[in-house]
Amino acid sequence: MSRREGIIRRLAASRRPSTHVCQTCLLSEPPYRLASTATAQSTLQPEPIERPPSGRAAPSTTPTSLRTTYRVQASVLLSRPPLLTRDLTPFEKAYFLYQRRLNERLALPFSRYFYYQKGTPGDVDWKRKMKERQTPARDIGRYNAYSREAGWNDELLVGARESEPEEQVEALLKDAEVEVQKEEGEDGEEGSQVVKEAVAKPLPRVTEADRAGDRRSLDRLLQRTLYLVVRRRDGRWWFPSDGLVGKESLHTAAERILIQAGGLNMNTWIVGNIPLGHYVRNYLKPRVVEKEEEDNTSQDQIRGTKYFFMKGRIMAGQANLKDNNNKKGLTDFQWLAKDEVQKILWPQDWSAVKNILAER
C-alpha cells in the first residue's frame, strides 16, 4: 500500500458514518488544504453593509469634483482660389519662345492661296503683315525660319523682349488691327484716308486693388489664394472661430460662424465634414469654471482651447462686419495670401497653420 492510499483511508475512516463518499471522490480529493486557499476564500466573502438607522436619510457624500478639460472651437479657413495662372520665370519664357520658333522652322510652309484668294483685300493685308514680321506666326517677333541671312536664331538673344507676355500681347493686338478706308466727306474731312480700327485690349493682371494696396478687396493678387482673417476685440488677428453649440457638428458650426462673422452677403461652401487639422493652444494659467448640476457642483479646469480647421470657399459676395449678425464684436477683416498671414499672426499660431495654407 502506498503512502497516498494510506492517507486517503485514514481520512475516510475519520468521517462521520452519515456522510458517504465514493471511492472516486476520495482519490481525487487532495489530502490537505493550503493556507493560501483558505485565505482567498475568506476574502471573497462580502463585507457587511452599514445601514443608517431607521427614519434617517443617508447623507450625501459626493465631493466637489475637479475635471481637467479643453474648450473646443471650430475655425474656418475661408479662401478665394487663384483666378489666373502664375507668372512665368525668365527661363520658362525663353524656353517657350524657343519651342514656338523651332516649330515654325519644322512646320510646312504656309499655304497662302489656300486661305486667301489672290488680289482680294485679305490677300493684300496678309502680304503687308508678312512684310513686317517675316513669319506666319504672330507672337514670336520678327523671324524668318527659311532665311539664309538670319541663320539659326531660334534662341532668345540677350536683352530681347520677344519672350515677355506684354510684348506678345502687343504683337497680337497689332496683328488684329484692320485698316479701313474712309470715303470723302466722312467726319467732315476731304479726301479718302486709311484708318486702323482699334482693338479691345485684355484686362491687366495687376488690378486697381493691387495698386492701391486694398487688403479688403477680393480683386487683388489674382494669382494667389487669399484667406479671410478677422480681428477680435482684443486686437488679435485670427480666422473666424467659435465654440460648438449643443450637439452641433463641425460642418454646421462652420456655416454658422461665417454668417455671424461675415454677414449674409457671402455665398460660401464648406468643403467636407472632416477638418483639415487641429491646433491646441494651452493657457499660461488654467482657468477654473464651476458647473451646477442636479445633485452636486463640479468644477472644470480649462487648460486651453482646441481649434479644428474647416475648409471653405467663397463663391460670390463680400464680408460685411456692419451686419447685424456680427455678434462676436469683430472690428476688421482682411483677405491675405500665405506670406501676408504670417506677418500678422502670433508665432505660435503661425506654426500651427503654416502647413495647411496653400503656397499659391
DSSP readout, 208-266? HHHHHT-TT-SSS-TTS-EEEEEE-TTS-EE-SEEE--TT--HHHHHHHHHHHHH-SSE
Give the CA distances from residue 240 to residues 262, 328, 338, in Å, rounded to whole numbers and listed in that order.
9, 10, 16
CA distance linking residue 279 with residue 333, whole number of Å? 22
pLDDT single digits (tens) 66-103: 778 888 999 999 999 999 999 999 999 999 988 988 88
C-alpha cell at 180: 479701313
Closest CA to 92 of 7, 172, 16, 165: 165
Q: Tell me what pLDDT residue 6 has.
A: 73
Task: For helices 121-133 and 165-176, give the axis angle rounded to 10 degrees.
Answer: 150
**Cβ atoms within 10 Å of 334's Cβ, excluding its own:** 19
Closest CA to 141 of 168, 166, 165: 168
Q: Tell me what pLDDT residue 122 has.
A: 84
CB-based contacts of 34-40 (< 8 A; 24+ apart in sequence): none
pLDDT single digits (tens) 309-344: 999 999 999 988 876 566 677 889 999 999 999 999
Q: What is the pTM of this model?
A: 0.70
pLDDT single digits (tens) 117-169: 888 888 888 888 888 888 888 888 877 777 766 555 677 778 888 889 888 88
Tell me which of 42-51, 217-226, 314-323 is least confident.
Answer: 42-51
